[in-house]
Amino acid sequence: MGTGRGTLVAGWVMLAAGLLSVVASLGALRLNYGMADVRGGSMAPTHRLGDDVVHARVDGAEVRRGDVVLFPAPGRWPGGGLVMQRVIGVGGDRIVCCEGEGSARRLTVNGRTFEEPYVKDGDVNGPFPQQYDVRVPQERLFLLGDHRPNARDSRFFADDHGGTVPAEVVRGRVTEDRLDVVLLAGATLFGLLPAIAGLVGVLAGRAGRRSSARSCGRRTSEARGRSGRRRGPPRWRAPPSRGPAGAGGAGAQCPASWGVGPPGVASGSGPLAASVSL
């Protein structure tokens, strides 16, 4: 196999492998993760207006108390898009507000104080005047914002299943661990390297084959010219080998299918090509 053909085949193999790696990495990244930008202040100080967040694509069965989730709720928050709030209670939990006074107020979950170090200024209820006692139905979630004075959350929809939302509407869970995202992004970039190298190889191989074809064409023309100047029966001698065959190199041999053969001898392959004279 000539070097031009070998370079072309190797280029196509590397290009295919690189593109397959890129597609697989991008597919895994798209399937498992997403990004969103924060458009309100209800989750401050954890997530502020304008922040970009990464979320793992999970369903409601996988979330736990304390998780920050994204979900659609067009009936409660007009304008469409996803809402970001924190899970306070899951199916079967009892949420009670509040025990204590002032900044010492705390929610209780199933009769136990629920510590929330993430709430803004330590205020677990804000100016919301009502106390509430909610039993979360199965397969539903009770959700609150981290900035309670500025959050329109489950507290405002007590008449609708105690303010809870169906767990099945959860689209993702916000994650601070971005290692898997970085690894998948790195795999995508790594896959581009063999793809680019393969593309270069394909272009080089095609150029080499074109060069070889032109070289063989010139040799055919020269051989025919020398034959026309000779007197007597035409004789043909194989050109001396000058090294290993290559794409247009000094030792490259033209395939018989390109018409390079002794003048007056049938071109082609097999024993007749060298023994039958006309």
Q: Supply the CATH number for residue 152's domain.
A: 2.10.109.10
Compute the average pLDDT of residues 215-222. 64
Task: Note whether 109 and 190 are same-domain residues.
Answer: no
Task: Note whether 132 and 165 are same-domain residues.
Answer: yes
Tell me: the pLDDT tens digits for 56-96?
999 888 999 999 999 998 888 777 789 999 999 999 999 99
Task: Note whether 108 and 67 are same-domain residues.
Answer: yes
211 — pLDDT class (breaks 50, 70, 90): low
Q: How far is CA 93 from CA 69, 90, 137, in A?
A: 18, 6, 8
Element housing 217 (H / E): helix 179-229
Element housing 144 (H / E): strand 140-144
Closest CA to 113 of 95, 140, 136: 95
Residue entry with tokens 């100016």? 127
As a whole number of angstroms, the distance between CA 75 and CA 70 comes to 15
Q: Is residue 51 part of a domain?
A: no
Task: Note whether 63 and 130 are same-domain residues.
Answer: yes
Cis peptide before 45 (omega within 30 of 0): yes
205 — pLDDT class (breaks 50, 70, 90): low
pLDDT at 222 over 80: no
**Tokens standing for 169?**
């509407």
0.85 cut: is pTM over it? no
